[in-house]
Structure 1
């Protein structure tokens, strides 16, 4: 029975994340790009300058409603995807779809920028303040208040909670796999490490979004910067393999390629399916799950926070590219590799201390993601029920966190992809229906700045 379910989910993912997803997302991306007057392309320089300046502690609007600064919301969102997305997610995409999957991830990033931008506008515009004083936002609210069909938002919320539960299983699996890889031969069972992860997660969840935002703001920039430096060193150390790696990427994008002496052939269908799935999983574009962390941001206009979507996906894509090139240039890529530790192995082959660092970085990133998922699920339930009742989610979430630590990875990835696909397509339909609101909010904002002469690129 379970084997049949796994096969059915795999077949469903092949359809949902295959050409159907590419065509649908491309059409929606182009439509939103035209409707917002190519804002993520034309204003790219201004957006990067403004958001990076804000991340450095300048130009924050502390008088606006909200409980997190814009940069804290950015780093909280980044923490939700960098761990398994930019490191393990890339490894999984390349293992399952071949080197060409990396180029499909780049395409997903470009499309994802404007989709996530539009999504944050709706999240901020329709957010609410809970009885606990937190700000929450997501499909449940913008469907209820914008489209007046609350049951659709409730369905999306339940699906998002399922995504959080399966995602924490993936993250927890990554944490335990990397701990065992770093300290092998201890004789300590996976269950022990999983229990420790559950305890540490539970402690932080009690502190709520403010504690998570504070931790993410400090941890993510430091770990990301050091990871990129180490990654560039790995790639440069294997410079002779850079051109062959790019040849594999571009050839695998449009035609079948064989890897590992022809043991396994990768085709365009596999490359596009896994590249798109992981690419949109990394950015969280259109899926709401990894975007709702922006809801508590202190901003007066939704666009003030929406621009962080552009910077967020740009930074994540750089990390993804470094991860992918490290795998392909280091020579560790084999079809039967372990996605949870493949990047660690790539770094370690160049310099042992780098492998140790990447293992620790992956553990920390994944840990912050687990905490973020705990917040996301609870905050979304708070949109459809009293915040006090939504807290029961914490205990269910911690149970799934434990199970993930002792379980396998591929089947959990497939279930996560499946739930994400359903959430994404329903959410994208909602966004298309509400697109006129997005266009008006966005275009009015940029028209005002242009006429005030505030934009200097």
Structure 2
């Protein structure tokens, strides 16, 4: 029965993440791009300067409980391990080399979608009974569209995504740990328990502790992972051009890897590239965007800018991951996504293999704590914040189960729930697009006028 169910899930995913999805997402991306006057293209350099190089203090009187950068890193924590490392490996295993190009396309479209989404999240956020700020579909659907039931459905689907996703990421943690220590039949359960304890310690501290931990782990490990990945690519420099060629070939026509034994079609490259690309960016799905809700800002656009930076940074990590795997020549349909990057790095140097494993464990850990916050914060938008805390215990149970279980079937189920969240949420965003455009365009008009005055 389980096999029949998984076959059904795969068939539905083939539709939801297939050509129709690309057309739908591209149409929405173009519509939002035009409505916001190409802001993520025209203002790209300015946005990077404001969000990366400009270390301005939080504005006086701004509502929120954590800084904009902490919100950014909490959001990055939710995707950077699972998405830009394990997600890329999964896309390449299931869709072939061409999937990486489809991931780039999905990320570019995702920039303006996530930018627009954060505007709604900040605009309609609320302060809970426990003094924390939360935002998401339940609030902007209820207060914007006046259809609270739809928002609640989206939130429940988001919670399911978080529970499935923590299983994936916990599996990554345990698989990489066992790759170092070996599995004696008992250690997997012991490590799974240790993981649950370490996750629980952070979640008890709420968003402030989650943000503080993410702000320390994510930039440090991202920088070192990037450098290590570049070393792997340079070490395999003879395979760089062939890897790019096979990527381009897989983008427009069927391609074979592994000595030509197994071929990948364009449909698979598109399906898994788009699915993992949007999984990486989190665009339109709310799950990986609501972490921006507690940020201390006065205007929603001030935080929405971080969406552009976030996806740009994640896409760089994705590219390094993809090229590390392809240039190492270890891509195989039978590969294990959880440790494929580790194997690619280890092939270049045992030291780099150890480093990659440690980096993946830390990235995965930061992702789990990010997901823990997301699920609880979203439940608190539809029920009392105190009652929403019960989610922590359910989440930790799924974290344990993921640590001792498999991975591939959970990816398929997660893709299904993510697709449902995304399509429902994107329809809502279309219906509320006039608000998005007005908020964005008014901000940039005022910003441009202020800069003219200063000159």
Q: Is the 8 A contact 1:449 1:455 kept in 2?
A: no
Q: 1:295 aligns with which of 288, 293, 296?
A: 293
Q: What's the offset of the Cα at 1:186?
A: 5.4
The question of 1:32 aligning with 2:32 is answered yes
**Aligned residue runs from structure 1 range 71-82, under 5 A:** 71-82=69-80
Q: Is the 8 A contact 1:46 1:455 kept in 2?
A: no
Q: Secondary structure at the match of 2:256?
A: strand
Tell me: CA distance 1:195–1:454, structure 2 relative to 1, closer, same or farther (3 Å).
farther
Measure, in 1, the Cα distance between the counterparts of 2:59 and 2:176: 39
Q: 2:366 aligns with which of 362, 365, 368?
A: 368
Partner of 1:221: 219
Measure, in 1, the Cα distance between the counterparts of 2:339 and 2:142: 42
Measure, in 1, the Cα distance between the counterparts of 2:353 and 2:85: 13
Measure, in 2, the Cα distance between the counterparts of 1:193 and 1:219: 20
**Aligned residue runs from structure 1 range 346-385, under 5 A:** 346-385=344-383
TM-score using structure 2 length = 0.98
TM-score using structure 1 length = 0.98
Partner of 1:130: 128
Q: What's the offset of the Cα at 1:182?
A: 1.7
Measure, in 2, the Cα distance between the counterparts of 1:293 and 1:62: 21
**Aligned residue runs from structure 1 range 55-70, under 5 A:** 57-61=55-59, 63-70=61-68
Which blocks of at least 5 consecutive residues in structure 2 are unaligned?
A: none
Tell me: CA distance 1:328–1:430, structure 2 relative to 1, closer, same or farther (3 Å).
same
Q: What's the offset of the Cα at 1:452?
A: 1.4
Partner of 1:3: 3
Give CA-to-partner distance per residue, 1:114-134, whole Å, 9 cap, x none.
Answer: 000000000000000001000
Q: Secondary structure at the match of 1:265?
A: strand
Measure, in 1, the Cα distance between the counterparts of 2:165 and 2:350: 29
Q: 1:337 aligns with which of 321, 335, 338?
A: 335
Q: What's the offset of the Cα at 1:58?
A: 2.9
Give CA-to-partner distance per residue, 1:324-382, whole Å, 9 cap, x none.
Answer: 00000012212211100000111111111111111111111111111111110000000
Measure, in 2, the Cα distance between the counterparts of 1:455 and 1:68: 31
Which blocks of at least 5 consecutive residues in structure 1 are unaligned?
A: none
Q: What's the offset of the Cα at 1:189?
A: 2.9
Q: Is the 8 A contact 1:127 1:138 kept in 2?
A: yes
**Aligned residue runs from structure 1 range 4-403, under 5 A:** 4-54=4-54, 57-61=55-59, 63-184=61-182, 188-403=186-401
Tell me: CA distance 1:219–1:25, structure 2 relative to 1, closer, same or farther (3 Å).
same
Q: Is the 8 A contact 1:61 1:69 kept in 2?
A: no
Q: Is the 8 A contact 1:53 1:59 kept in 2?
A: no
Q: Is the 8 A contact 1:293 1:376 kept in 2?
A: yes
